[in-house]
Amino acid sequence: MTTPRIPRQPDVDQPHPDHDRGLEFDLNTLISRRSLGLFLGAGGAVAALAACTPAGSTGSTSLATTPSTGAASSAAASGTESAAATPTLTRAIAECGVEIPQETAGPYPGDGSNGPNVLEASGVVRRDITSSFGTASAKAEGVPLTFTLTLLDNANGCTPMAGAAVYAWHCDRDGKYSMYDSSLKNENYLRGVQEADANGQVTFTSIFPAAYSGRWPHIHFEVFESMNNATAAGQVLAVSQIALPKAACDDVYATPGYERSITNMTRTTLKSDNVFGDDGGIYQLATMSGSAAAGYTAGLNVTI
């Protein structure tokens, strides 16, 4: 029997009353692409996964996945579902067990809980979040970063959370957040929503965020049970943050444009950070590969 997921604020179970065209408009476009065949394909992925998943746990749940490639990533970008279980997904399920720590959304969520709500804007469903959308046009400059989250349902045997939605956001290379900084109030870059494919994975194309005063370099995200629920902060299943490894940060911050981050990195550690300090970010530290010259990829298992 499947155990139903309960939002963190169960009293809020209806779409945002101010929701008009925004995400709902995007959802209609996505739904029009779907078919019964895709649905059955997703079921096939679970069956195939059951056949190839090792029995029992093989180690720490803190180990992160690497981003998916090929058809799975393309499906995530277009709003469709992939039917092929990846080796990284199989490993993620074998290592599943500890749920992702719940963290603050911070003062700049843009989800309606503290000021503006980008989740109501048509165009927010996208893979590439480097540029603003709608009537805005600015593009965030910086070292390329592609990050993938693998969502696993702990209450139901660590099955991939196909069809769940993720809203991700972070600061730019100057440490500023769109929609909130006085110079970026009309911009909405580095914010976007993706629907998890049959592997429970979402992938975003972005830039490496800065290290600003008082915080370790990070990426915020919220997980919703479905795209239909991704319209307001009150319906989230989980709110957490990705911690970026020091080696990658040091490499990136040595490049032009990130000069302020060098000083800020010397003032904060994972242990002293007010979010990751409880456990040193062990369950939120991304696995990364790449270089500042070629760009980085990052992956994180998110057990809910």
pLDDT tens, residue by residue, 48-74:
333 333 333 333 333 333 333 332 333
Which of the four pLDDT bands, split at 50, 70 and 90, describes residue 266?
A: very high
Q: How far is CA 155 from the centre of its chain?
A: 20
C-beta of residue 126 within 8 angstroms of C-beta of residue 168: no
SS3 224: strand
Give dist(CA 125, CA 77) in Å, integer: 9
Q: What integer best gives the mean pLDDT of the chain?
A: 79
- CA–CA dist 68, 153 (Å, integer): 19
Phi, psi at 199, each rounded to 5°: -90, 5
In degrees, rounded to 5, the angle at the alpha carbon of residue 204 between the alpha carbons of residues 198 and 210 is 145
Distances (CA, A) of 288 to 23, 55, 210, 280, 291: 31, 27, 16, 17, 9
Q: Are 105 and 239 in contact (CB under 8 A)?
A: yes
Q: Which pLDDT value is given to residue 248?
A: 98
Whole-prediction pTM value? 0.75
What DSSP character marks residue 65? P
In this predicted structure, the answer to whether residue 231 has a pLDDT above a threshold of 80 is yes
Give the whole-angstrom CA distance, residue 280 versus residue 269: 9
pLDDT at 194 over 50: yes
Q: How far apart are CA 209 and CA 130, in angstroms?
A: 11
Q: Per-residue pLDDT tens for 89-128?
A: 887 787 787 899 999 999 999 999 999 999 999 999 999 9
Q: 35-44, 163-172, 289-298: which has the minimum mean pLDDT?
A: 35-44
Residue pair 219/244 in contact by the 8 Å Cβ criterion:
yes
Q: How far apart are CA 110 and CA 118, in angstroms?
A: 6
Question: Which residue type sits at 144?
Answer: P
Amino acid at 57: S
Q: Is the pLDDT of residue 204 over 70?
A: yes
pLDDT score of 29 more than 50: no
Report the distance separating Cα 135 and Cα 204, nearest Å: 21
User: Average of pLDDT values for 14-40?
Assistant: 38
Say if residue 182's pLDDT is above 70. Answer: yes
Higher pLDDT, 221 or 45: 221
3-state DSSP assignment of residue 243? strand
Give residue 184's pLDDT. Answer: 98
* % of the chain surpassing 90 pLDDT: 66
DSSP 281: T
pLDDT band at 88 (very low <50, low <70, confident <90, very high): confident
Q: Are strands 287-291 and 191-195 parallel, antiparallel or unpaired?
A: unpaired
| Per-residue model confidence (pLDDT) at position 91 | 77
Q: How confident is the model at residue 35 (pLDDT cuts 50, 70, 90)?
A: very low
